[in-house]
Amino acid sequence: MIGPGRLEWLKHDLTNRGLTAWILSAVLFGFYMVLYFTDWLNPVAAALGLGHKWTLYGLLYTLAITLGGVYVIRKYRHNRYQVIRTVVVIVVQVMLAFSVPLLLKFFHQPEYYFSYLWPLKFEYLTPPVVFHMPLPFILYSFFGALVMAPLLAVFFGKRWYCSWVCGCGGLANTAGDPFRHLSSKSMASWRFEKIAIHTVLVVAVVLTALLFVSWGAGKQNPELARWSYQFQSAYGLIVGAVLSGIVGVGVYPIGGTRVWCRYFCPMAAMLGLVQKVGRYRITVKRNMCISCGLCSKYCEMGIDVRSYAQTNTSFTRASCVGCGICAEVCPRGVLRLENVTRRDPQELVQIEVAA
């Protein structure tokens, strides 16, 4: 029997980089290695009537978000923003990221995930998709990535996607919630974040352009086609498998839940650039902060929110995903997530300095 004392110890050990946290991290790493590099899960999926390992993975992922979401809704039940946001995250995952692709497959249509857009779902703006998918999917791929996503980010910040729609953020903010305080707050990680995330975005844009060029060159340039194909495979392996899956989820128990979103996601990078000039910001109530540091501690993106609150500075940071937990944990109600209608020039200067 595990008594309450043992349970408390386990909870503390698991969420504070104790031995059990390292063991869980190793298990997650192992799971993703098996998932990406072997077919061992196919027989398990077949035995469960799910056909293929990726359907099994989709089901596990959806269960993790749903059960974790129920836990988060109960935990923050007094906070309307958190409850509505979490319900939306669960519904999007269950419908758009799991049921709709399955139904499409069932009706012999291409498997398409409406909750994922280029450059996160990189292949949705590459020639094989653009030129071989049914027209509505092609239109959605272009419109979603190049018009809808940036436009909504102008008005609402990147939170509309990173904290309300995306499955990566969805998992982080549900099943990953107990680990959110583990994100690194150091200056070194902030510097690394700025370089790494924009590098992935540039690589994604260059690769997309290259794939269209090599497709246009057609049979006249087989060498270019072969080279772009290898480039795309390497991108898929490094960014798609290693950084988003193996590292992104594997380090939850020791490095926090937004490692992928913060350091490597090209979608977060793109929307972050838009957010810096858009309407979203965190407003600070003047002279209310008591410097307790809870906002900084629980910021999953490693932002030193307290430093802004202490200096009465409302702010917009490119990396802020608008999860709203800094406002939730603040004992003085200092912070408020807002979409302002216009900025004053002084504030834009502050954004430049901070971002």
- Rounded CA gap, 95 and 88, in Å? 10
What would the two tokens of residue 4 be?
């309450």
268 lines the binding site for ligand SF4 (CB under 6 A): no
* Min CB(14)–ligand SF4 separation in Å: 21
- Contact between 73 and ligand SF4 by CB under 6 A: the answer reads no
Q: Which residues contact 214 (CB under 8 A, 6 or more apart)?
A: 221, 224, 225, 227, 228
Sole binder of ligand SF4 in the list 290, 312, 338, 349 (CB under 6 A): 290
**Dihedral, 16, 17, 22, 25 alpha carbons, nearest 10:** 70
Site for ligand SF4 contains 306 (CB under 6 A): yes
Exactly one of 97, 270, 303, 318 binds ligand SF4 (CB under 6 A); that residue is 303
Cβ neighbour number for residue 75 with a 10 Å cutoff: 14
| Complex with ligand SF4: residue 41 or 172, whichever CB lies closer | 172
Contact 316, 276 (CB under 8 A): yes
Q: Binding ligand SF4 by CB under 6 A: which of 28, 97, 129, 323?
A: 323
Residue type, 175: A
Q: Which of residues 38 and 291 has its CB atom nearest to ligand SF4 in the complex?
A: 291
User: Which of 292, 340, 354, 355 forms a contact with ligand SF4 (CB under 6 A)?
Assistant: 292
Report if residue 291 touches ligand SF4, rule: CB under 6 A.
yes
* Residue 324 lies near ligand SF4 (rule: CB under 6 A): yes
Burial 37-60 (b: 16+ CB within 10 A, else e): eeeebeeebeeeebeebebbbbee
Our finding on whether 255 is near ligand SF4 (CB under 6 A) is no
Exposure of 5 by Cβ count < 10 A (0-12 exposed, 13-18 middle, 19+ buried)?
exposed
Tokens of 53: 């390992």
Residue 259 binds ligand SF4, judged by CB under 6 A: no
Q: Does 125 contact ligand SF4 by CB under 6 A? A: no
Return d(Cα 126, Cα 122) in angstroms, integer: 7
If one asks whether residue 301 binds ligand SF4 (CB under 6 A), the answer comes out as: yes
Q: Which residues, including other chains, have CB under 8 Å from residue 17's CB and lie 6 or more apart?
A: 182, 253, 254
Q: Which is nearer to ligand SF4, 38 or 311 (CB)?
A: 311
State in angstroms the smallest separation of the CB of 205 from ligand SF4: 25
Which among 74-82, 135-143, 218-226, 303-311 is the span making contact with ligand SF4, rule CB under 6 A? 303-311
Site for ligand SF4 in 187-216 (CB under 6 A): none
Residues that bind ligand SF4 (CB under 6 A): 282, 289-295, 299-301, 303, 305-306, 309, 320-326, 329-332, 334-335
